[in-house]
Amino acid sequence: MKWLGVLGLVALSECLVTIPLMKVKSMRENLRENNTLQDYLEKHPYGPAYKLLRRHQDPGKAFEPLRNYLDLAYIGIISIGTPPQEFKVVLDTGSSDLWVPSIYCSSPACAKHDTFNPLLSSTFLVSGRPINIVYGSGSMSGFLAYDTVQIADLVDVAQPFGLSLEEPGQFMEYAVFDGILGLSYPSLSSERITPVFDNLWNQGLLSQNLFAFYLSSKDEKGSMLMLGGVDPSYYMGDLHWVPVSKPLYWQLAMDSISMNGKVIACDGGCQGIMDTGTSLLIGPRNPVRSIQQAINAQHSYGSEYIIDCGAISTLPDITFTIDGVDYPVPASAYIRKSSAHICYSNFDEASPQELDPTEVWVLGDVFLRLYFTVFDRTNNRIGLAPAV
């Protein structure tokens, strides 16, 4: 499914200052090494230090803190209109459109979320064109409009976006976010409109035509979307760059999926989509069922599989090999424990209409929490490195 989030993380820039015979560590590094980073963030989510650091960030680079909602969604806060109206949105690399609920929406979902009021914005323009977007877990229909959108410190003028009139079903009604901001290629946009990231670049607001995600595990605070640049303190080693195989989604070629050195899926190669708006690891039915069998997961109901919680400490890694590089996913990542101390498999089957006839996998947050990911539009490539 499609999700994401915000609460305050301090955008601590990686400014290494050199003086004779000494390298001074960044504030982030010092706080992390003294195990005080989390305490600092909780006490100063939007305090003076946060504002000071944001003012002194490199021009053309912006940081948007994300809220991790139970490892299910990563949510950011944006504003639309003049004066600004705030919304919680999923920052989603698996779609390209921006939309939020409108005051004209009649669905129960809209009554439970913040809604945009065009009458209160002096910069609002309506196009009159209808817009309909369907996701794996829900849908919206409404109309296209234009207004100023702010994300982090970046102000995107005359951004096209959708305003919902209907959000059918229960999924959106109980969602922890108001709308969705897509970060995939323009060709994936429902109305071929220019996505937010493309407009940020076209308006000269970014120094580099790329963005990156650091997704925290379990901690509500700590996740970050980086726009126009990368902070290397969020990952270890070097980034491994992989070309985008199909510039629609953020899609790349995978070599195999293996366990204990034996290929258990993607035999002979397959495709993988890096999707921050999907919480699980999703693949074709038969390969996923083979993996469920290999980890001794038992079918419960719907698409859920239950697994013995003790398996977290005994099962081996499942390794995704991409461009000759192994990316292991440990059992502690592909098994999740519920509040009722029941454990579930984090592998899920794609519905037949969701993916191509070829073997395509969606590497959602389960994978992306482990690997810092850079999405480079200039070179149409994805950079991966172990997250800190």
Mean of all residue pLDDT scores within the chain: 86
**What's the rounded Cα separation, in Å, for the pair 185 and 97?**
10
Active site residue 356: no
**What's the rounded Cα separation, in Å, for the pair 358 and 362?**
13
Fold (CATH) for 17-227: Cathepsin D, subunit A; domain 1 (2.40.70)
Active-site annotation holder among 71, 92, 147, 255 = 92
**Would you call 23 exposed, middle or buried from its count of C-beta atoms within 10 A (0-12, 13-18, 19+)?**
exposed
Residue pLDDT, tens place only, 107-164: 999 999 999 999 999 999 999 899 999 887 788 999 999 999 999 999 999 999 999 9
What architecture is the 235-386 domain classified under in CATH? Answer: Beta Barrel (2.40)
Question: What are the beta bridge partners of residue 116?
Answer: 102
Percent of the chain at pLDDT > 70 equals 84
pLDDT surpassing 80 at residue 28: no
Which tokens hold the place of 224?
């970050």
**CB of 87 closer than 8 Å to CB of 178:** yes
Instruction: Enter the pTM of the model.
Output: 0.85
Residue pLDDT, tens place only, 264-310: 999 999 999 999 999 999 999 999 999 999 999 999 988 899 999 99
Residue pLDDT, tens place only, 324-383: 999 999 999 999 998 778 999 999 998 765 555 578 999 999 999 999 999 999 999 999
User: Higher model confidence: residue 315 or residue 20?
Assistant: 315
Task: Out of 87-91, 197-201, 228-232, 356-360, pick the least confident.
Answer: 356-360
- Residue that has been written with the tokens 């993380």 in this structure: 9
**CB of 250 closer than 8 Å to CB of 187:** no
User: Higher model confidence: residue 7 or residue 309?
Assistant: 309
User: Which pLDDT score, from 0 to 100, does residue 352 have?
Assistant: 64
Percent of the chain at pLDDT > 90 equals 74
- CATH 2.40.70.10 intervals, the chain: 17-227, 235-386
Active-site annotation holder among 178, 198, 255, 275 = 275
Active site residue 255: no
